[in-house]
């Protein structure tokens, strides 16, 4: 089952896009939906679940989450605000299928680099 999507502000705040990223852009930031894959510094994505298995799909540049840095901090901050439980072993990929690892892997990557 796919969960509703969200936008993550550059400062890490989560914005619920409900069923449509395009129809539910944060007010005042309508231009970001036409700025793929930068999205004006926002991240967008969805969490899909099947039984206990979860997949987090993030629309971003291929290298955005490959190493520690502002986009990784932004993503993890937004994920921590999800209204649904997110498992540490949830797999995180880009919309192009780039594999970033599990949520736990991303947290470790962030923590290893300070």
Given this model, what pLDDT does residue 109 score? 92
Per-residue pLDDT band for 113 (boundaries 50, 70, 90) equals: confident
Asked if the model's pLDDT at residue 4 lies above 80, the reply is no
Per-residue pLDDT band for 114 (boundaries 50, 70, 90) equals: low
The more confident residue out of 103 and 20 is 103
Residues 6 or more apart whose CB falls under 8 angstroms from that of 6 comprise 14, 15, 16, 17, 44, 45, 46, 78, 82
DSSP conformation letters of 2-52? BPPEEEE-TTS-EEEEET-TTTSPPTT-GGGGGSTTTGGG-EEEEEEEETT
Given this model, what pLDDT does residue 29 score? 94
Mean pLDDT of the chain: 91
Asked if the model's pLDDT at residue 51 lies above 70, the reply is yes
Cα torsion 108, 86, 62, 23: sign: negative
Domain containing 63 equals: 5-112
Residues of the chain with pLDDT > 70, as a percent, come to 96
The count of structural domains within the chain is 1
Asked if the model's pLDDT at residue 84 lies above 70, the reply is yes
Question: What is the pTM assigned to this prediction?
Answer: 0.91
Given this model, what pLDDT does residue 2 score? 57
Asked if the model's pLDDT at residue 62 lies above 60, the reply is yes
Q: SS3 of 100, please?
A: strand
């Amino acid at each position: 089952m796919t969960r509703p999507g969200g936008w993550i502000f550059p400062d890490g705040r989560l914005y619920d896009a409900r069923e449509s990223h395009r129809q539910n852009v944060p007010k005042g930031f309508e231009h970001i939906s036409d700025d793929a894959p930068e999205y004006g510094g926002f991240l967008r994505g969805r969490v899909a679940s099947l039984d206990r298995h979860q997949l987090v799909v993030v629309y971003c540049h291929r290298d955005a989450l490959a190493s520690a840095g502002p986009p990784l901090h932004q993503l993890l901050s937004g994920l921590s605000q999800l209204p649904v439980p997110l498992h540490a072993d949830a797999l995180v990929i880009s919309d192009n299928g780039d594999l970033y690892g599990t949520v736990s892997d991303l947290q470790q990557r962030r923590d290893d680099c300070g």
